[in-house]
A and B are shown apart, each in its own frame.
Chain A
């Protein structure tokens, strides 16, 4: 059994600590007394994953064994999480491939002919054929692509259907093929508490018309945090929608969880606590720094994007979504939950190279904001690690770079909207409809590999809670122009950032550094 997560207090013995900063990482000396949140040690992975999948499918929670649900002549739709999970991408064979192969084995044995596979990409960009192949495996790809292995299209009106409306008036509109299937098998990989469960079908296969009920500023400001479903207004909305779905379509979900092995062995030092670095870890850190610094930008990005995580699978559970998800959350908490005693004046986060929306792509400034103030800030239960009015210090170079194919509407959002206002509520009120219904963005979303027009606004909303909570946001090492466009201050060093933060939090602030990845979910008491 590995060690639990814990909070380190920096003392004179503490070596310099690793801080991620986009496509790089640095060692940083933190002031004495700084608290550092470390996740539990990586849990051991299941040795025979295929056997665990078979066991989960044959012994589901709250539903019949999968083979009993399959019959000739039925319409079966297998839906799987898109490329935004897990992060970084896992090395092959992808867990989704293993699950889908087993599901299809049972389907073939039962004589099911009408099978469709859908990537649950919602308003995310369509996965490329190569990405689909990598995710589902060659055998599945060859058997189903392109006719029966597709991306979900949230703008294909002909293939969307309104399933119903929740008691809060939320429209539930999802992919028609899935809604009209006799059975949806949803194949999920859960990385954090926000994924899986009710979110899978209600979000992954939804349209903008349905998504806007929970992807909005009000909901996100009342999701504290969105990684803690019981206290997340966003998840309450998902649950209501899932209730409507459950009355209309049968969903059999297969959820799996991963351990903390986020980096490949050649950069294994990133998975270890710094005072436990061996001589080999230190040498590989130095080599990494040197090579990473010398590499041309394009090569560096490729190296990072191809650093596939050797995740171990910590659990596979199948059955009715509401019955399965508690097991999944428990497994996530076993891997990530770390108790933290109280809040600090200053929170520090090192932002990694990857977020859900720049896989095989570029992390533009808006995504940097959503990663820092959205995803990482919200890695808490009960209370944020920073007090109300405290300061968030984030590390990222934040170059003003955009992927023109993947993020076209981000460019316009960055240039035209953020130059006018940074207020999420005002942006929502004034610009959301324009971006969501722009025919050019819709065309690119449907035919190219672009994120939906409204997506950059959603990313801005993602940080709405942090923007409201924090008194100041400082980015260390960031491009000044890009940070200023986002409304953030920049500092060259941690020392400078702390000096700047003192204007807001006084002369002797308490500091907490949220060390990740591997991810730690701070349970702040």
Chain B
């Protein structure tokens, strides 16, 4: 029964209460324990890997995405020459702190990789609605990855590798909440060991300061960000995925440290992955961690910082 005086607008307001612009409501806290895990993304992405879609995508990336990204931030790309001579499918493994990371890495990659790379994207975030899924698949060649022990990475990533696609994966699983690196999960390492393909460590610095979680556009002032590619790592014949993952984590951490320590300084840092992981200031309160991580990178790279500032 319609209440007197209630119009469509009032009805819409009531319906919109507690929902975001996409009409999704957050799960009330008391209902969280009863939530069913999201259905694995069933959105088909094969169409996005056809030659036509690939051409459209490359045009979008190089004609729109990269120029826009390079306009709003000031990327410094290092280590591209380490990719010379690399053949066959490669897994790029990067840290993840911002939505800027993907366009930065895709923009920094040489065309022969950029034209044939697929990006692992969280199924529950990027593939939850058809329009978002379609955009992710077309613009980024995204494919759904289950962050919570799902089946996608096991099912679709190997298929892509077998088809000769390079992959860009963010094995932390999600964007960092405070700008520092989280645990590197072993999924990528398993993939590399299982298929005997190389992994290229990638470290992105400054993206958290430029556009952290919660921001839809980078901060003004064209902040500097850096993208560093490391040497490709190939799993040894007897190396298991856990050992390879430790090696991979260490490599990403060293690249991360290159920002402050420089290449040679990071090599001299003898700490292993467990300790080398850039976990932020020890024993620091949460605000200090975010504070440090959101400190803009110096406008120009000036080599190692004095010890008391590092």
Contact = CB atoms under 8 A, between A and B. Distances in A.
A26 B17 contact: no
Contact of A275 (B1, B12, B22, B26): B26
Interface string A163-186: 000000000000000000000000
B306 interface: no
B25 A274 contact: yes
Nearest to B129: A279
Interface string B12-39: 1011011100110111111100101000
Contacts of A277: 23, 25
A27 B25 CA distance: 14
B3 interface: yes
A4 interface: yes
A21 interface: yes
Interface residues of A, number: 36
Interface string A292-315: 110000000000000000000000
A3 B30 contact: no
Interface string A254-283: 000000000000000000011111110010
A8 B15 contact: no
A289 B30 contact: no
Given A286-B15, A397-B1, A279 B31 contact: no
Interface string A7-42: 111111111100001111011010000000000000
A285 interface: yes
Nearest to A290: B8
Contacts of B1: 21-24, 26, 292-293, 397, 477
A428 B46 CA distance: 73
A3 B28 contact: no
Nearest to B32: A13
Contacts of B2: 24, 289, 292-293
A6 interface: yes
Contact of B15 (A10, A16, A278, A293): A16
Contact of A13 (B8, B14, B25, B36): B25
Contact of B29 (A4, A13, A276): A13
Contact of B27 (A7, A13, A285, A286): A13
Nearest to A5: B34
Contact of B22 (A9, A274, A279, A286): A279
B85 interface: no
A272 B41 CA distance: 21
B285 interface: no
Nearest to B29: A11
B237 interface: no
Contacts of A24: 1-2
A29 B3 contact: no
Contacts of B31: 6, 8, 273, 275
Interface in B252-304: none
Contacts of A279: 22-23, 129
B18 A14 contact: yes
A376 B96 CA distance: 52
B11 interface: yes
A29 B13 CA distance: 11
Contacts of A293: 1-2
A112 to B, nearest CB: 49
Contact of B25 (A3, A275, A477): A275
A351 to B, nearest CB: 11
Contacts of B8: 286, 290
A293 B6 CA distance: 10
Given A3-B36, A15-B17, A289-B11, A275 B27 contact: yes
B34 A285 contact: no
A11 B36 contact: no
B41 to A, nearest CB: 15
A213 B204 CA distance: 81
Contact of B18 (A6, A13, A285, A292): A13
A509 B2 CA distance: 29
Contact of A477 (B3, B11, B22, B30): B3
B30 A8 contact: yes
Contact of A285 (B15, B22, B26, B36): B15
Contacts of B28: 8-11, 13-14, 275
Nearest to B36: A3
B248 to A, nearest CB: 38
A29 to B, nearest CB: 6
Nearest to A40: B34
A123 B260 CA distance: 88
Contacts of B25: 13-15, 274-277
B14 A16 contact: yes
A397 B34 CA distance: 34
A494 to B, nearest CB: 12
Nearest to B26: A13
B236 to A, nearest CB: 45
A3 B3 contact: no
A282 B29 CA distance: 22
A378 to B, nearest CB: 25
Contacts of A14: 18, 25, 28
A14 B27 CA distance: 7
Instruction: Tell which of A6, A14, A21, A29 has the most Cβ of chain B within 10 Å.
Output: A14
A8 B33 CA distance: 11
A282 B12 CA distance: 9
A422 B1 CA distance: 28
B3 A16 contact: no
Nearest to A492: B3
A7 B18 contact: no
A16 B18 contact: yes
Interface string A236-253: 000000000000000000
B27 A16 contact: no
A267 to B, nearest CB: 15
A26 B3 contact: yes
Contacts of B129: 279
A9 B30 CA distance: 6
A293 B22 CA distance: 26
A158 to B, nearest CB: 46
A10 B19 CA distance: 15
Contacts of A27: 11, 14-15
B24 to A, nearest CB: 8
Instruction: Tell which of B12, B18, B27, B36 has the most Cβ of chain A within 10 Å.
Output: B18
B252 to A, nearest CB: 36
Contacts of B3: 26, 477
Contacts of A286: 8, 11-12, 15
B17 A16 contact: yes
Nearest to B33: A6
A285 B11 CA distance: 10
Closest 3 CB pairs of A and B: A293-B2, A24-B1, A15-B18
Given A12-B18, A27-B11, A279-B23, 7 more contacts: A3-B36, A14-B28, A273-B31, A277-B23, A279-B129, A282-B15, A477-B1
24 contacts: A3-B34, A4-B34, A6-B31, A8-B28, A9-B30, A11-B28, A13-B25, A13-B27, A15-B15, A15-B18, A15-B19, A16-B15, A16-B18, A24-B2, A26-B3, A27-B14, A27-B15, A275-B28, A277-B23, A278-B23, A279-B22, A285-B15, A289-B2, A397-B1
Interface of B: 1-3, 8, 11-12, 14-15, 17-19, 22-23, 25-31, 34, 36, 129
Interface of A: 3-4, 6-16, 21-24, 26-27, 29, 273-279, 282, 285-286, 289-290, 292-293, 397, 477
